[in-house]
């Protein structure tokens, strides 16, 4: 199984700040890594797939990078509507595992 270690578990930033979240896999997962946003009481929403591809309709301030075992998710300029929990998820091998999540708050 590929364990996904996401950090930090929470962060507080100001509107307009650049926000970075990391996700480390316990083994090489190539670029089979996705990022989701989940707002309270809502289903997760796909933002980035295959490590760096932006899902249709997702604002360009969201981006992803990395390959192998180390990945980064970035919000270039934090907006109030970005308050949510973000999850990475690998699909290189079964079981499909999620990171523990990063809760993003406004300072």
Partner 1 sequence: EVQLVESGGGLVQPGGSLRLSCAASGFTFSNYGMSWVRQAPGKGLEWVSAISGSGGTTYYADSVKGRFTISRDNSKNTLSLHLNSLRAEDTAIYYCAKCLREGSWSAFDFWGQGTLVTVSS
Binding pattern for the stretch 5-34 against partner 1, x by CB under 8 A and - elsewhere? -----------------------------x
Q: Min. distance of Cβ 20 from partner 1 in angstroms?
A: 19
Measured in Å, how far apart are the chain's first and last C-alpha atoms? 36
Q: Which helix (H) or strand (E) holds 77?
A: none
In sequence order, the β-bridge partners of residue 25 are 4
Structure-block tokens of residue 41: 């009481």
Q: Which of 57, 55, 38 is nearest to 103 (CA)?
A: 38
Q: Is 88 helix (H, G, I), strand (E, B) or coil?
A: strand
Binding residues for partner 1 restricted to 56-85, rule: CB under 8 A: none
Residue with tokens 């699909």: 91
Interface pick for partner 1 out of 2, 19, 49, 84 (rule CB under 8 A): 49
Q: Min. distance of Cβ 96 from partner 1 in angstroms?
A: 4
Pick between residue 18 and residue 100 the one whose CB is nearest to partner 1: 100
Which residues are at the interface with partner 1 (CB under 8 A)?
34, 36, 38, 43-46, 49-50, 55, 87, 89, 91, 94-101
């Amino acid at each position: 199984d590929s364990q996904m270690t996401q950090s930090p578990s929470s962060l507080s930033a100001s509107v307009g700040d650049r926000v970075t979240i990391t996700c480390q896999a316990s083994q090489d997962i190539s670029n089979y890594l996705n990022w989701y946003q989940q707002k309270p009481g809502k289903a997760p929403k796909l933002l980035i797939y295959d490590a760096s591809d932006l899902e249709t309709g997702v604002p360009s301030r969201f981006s992803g990078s990395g390959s192998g075992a180390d990945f980064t998710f970035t919000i270039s300029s934090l907006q109030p509507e970005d308050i949510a929990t973000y999850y990475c998820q690998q699909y290189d091998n079964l079981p499909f595992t999620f990171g523990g999540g990063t809760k993003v708050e406004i300072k």
